[in-house]
Each structure stands twice: as C-alpha cells, then as structure tokens.
Amino acid sequence: MRWATRAGIHVDRAASAWLLAKYVDTDAEFVYVGDPDDVPPDATPFDMVGCDLSHHGDDVTFETILRRYELDDPVLWKIAEIVHEADVEDDRFDAPEAAGLDVIIRALGHDHDDEQVRAITSTILDSLALHFRAKFAKGT
C-alpha cells in the first residue's frame, strides 16, 4: 500500500511511518508531498490537516494510528509518549528522551532527504523498542 505525508518529515511523521511499516503494512511505500491536494489517488494520507490519520484531540498522529489499529503494546505506547512530547512539547508525559529524538531527527533533515530520514528514524525506533522491551522485561 502507498502512504502519503507532507514533505520535510519530522518526528511525528517519521515515527508514524515506522509504525505503519512495522505494525500495519509491512509492504508500505511512502510518498512525500508539498500539499494535501498532491496526494496520489492510490495513497492513504497521514499527518496532514483534514485526514483521518492525523492529530485528533490531544493525540499526535502516532497515537491516532495506535488507537485506530488497536495496537496496545506497552512498548509502542511508551514510544508514543516520547513522540508526543517531541512533536508538541505540552508536558503531557514525562518523556526526557523526547528532546534527544527531536534534535536527532531535525539534524537528519539538514542533509538527508525524506526517505533517508524515515529509514534512519526507523532504525532508531527499532532499537528504542528493543531497549524498552528489555527494560520492561526486567520490571524497570
């Protein structure tokens, strides 16, 4: 399936793409557009104003996807807290990791295209998920 999001991806878009590709659609292909009107007809938009998979209420897109696809893995919800704080900085969660993730993804955007940022972010989030799985298994 094809998924479309705004060009110039940042933390919520990059993390949401990881979530979609890893847990919703393992054959996902991503396109990056300048305007919602540029979404190809065969693509499902995400993290764009007015689309179903975007910010809703107090949730960022990553949280919306978790809810929509009923992904109740506590590791994913821990990552959601980090993504939320990095994206909107509303102090809703105690997620000190958010500042680091935010600056890393912003830095990647300076010298990598959107697909490269998505791929590198996916590697980071794969490792972060492993870290939290190990931490949760130890009960800490």
Q: Which of 59, 58, 57, 71 is nearest to 18 (CA)?
A: 71
**Res 89: pLDDT:** 82
For residue range 100-118, what is the model confidence (pLDDT) as tens digits? 999 999 999 999 999 999 9
Q: Taking 90 as the threshold, does the pLDDT of residue 140 lie above it? A: no
The pTM of this model reads: 0.95
Interval 6-13 mean pLDDT: 96
Are 69 and 24 in contact by the 8 Å Cβ rule? The answer is: yes
Are 58 and 92 in contact by the 8 Å Cβ rule? The answer is: yes
Q: Taking 90 as the threshold, does the pLDDT of residue 12 lie above it? A: yes
Q: Cα separations (Å) of 110 from 5, 10, 14, 83?
A: 18, 11, 15, 20
The rounded mean pLDDT for the chain is 96
- Give the pairing type, strands 2-6 and 29-33: parallel
For residue range 13-35, what is the model confidence (pLDDT) as tens digits? 999 999 999 999 999 999 999 99
Total length of the chain? 140
For residue range 30-55, what is the model confidence (pLDDT) as tens digits? 999 999 899 999 999 999 998 999 99
Q: Of 89 and 59, which is predicted with more confidence?
A: 59
Sequence letter at residue 61: T
**Res 123: pLDDT:** 98
Distance CA 65, CA 46 (A): 9
Distance CA 39, CA 29 (A): 13
